[in-house]
Amino acid sequence: MKAARNARFRLIPGNVRAQVIASARQTGQARVVEAQMGTLRGIAKAAPSAPAPTPQPPLAEAVNRIGPYAPTEKQVAFYQRLADSPVFTEEERKRALDWLATRATRQTIKDQIDWLKRQVETRKANRAGESAA
């Protein structure tokens, strides 16, 4: 059933999906659900040890770019969470968010997400190794 649903979903062009979602939001038939800190789909996670990063202004330009090549809202949200990681400097974070707002496409954001994940993992590992030495 999931494969059939996903296949049907891919048959609808991205710009049509975006217009349907936008009109549903305008008429009140859909709402934006904000994730709460420390929960993931209702499952409680351990509280973060580091203070939460300062919230970045929403990147309306990235989400509002409508078309089959525009990144999905899920991709944008995941990218933003990765970029907000404390392992990045403010300059790195600014460049990453500028790229997202201006040049990201559905395919290129996948590569950038993979790169950000690797950076978060290796930089955390390196910092843990430095503090143990």
DSSP string, the chain: -HHHHHHHHHHS-HHHHHHHHHHHHHTTS--PPPPPTTEETTEE-PPPSSPPPPPPPP-HHHHH--STTSPPHHHHHHHHHHHTSTTS-HHHHHHHHHHHHHT--HHHHHHHHHHHHHHHHHHHHHHHHHHH-
Question: What pLDDT does 131 receive?
Answer: 61
Q: What are the pLDDT digits (tens) for 78-94?
A: 899 999 999 999 999 99
Rounded average pLDDT over 37-55: 51
Tens-place pLDDT, residues 103-112: 888 888 899 9
Confidence of residue 127 (pLDDT cuts 50, 70, 90): confident
User: Is it the case that residue 60 has pLDDT exceeding 60?
Assistant: no
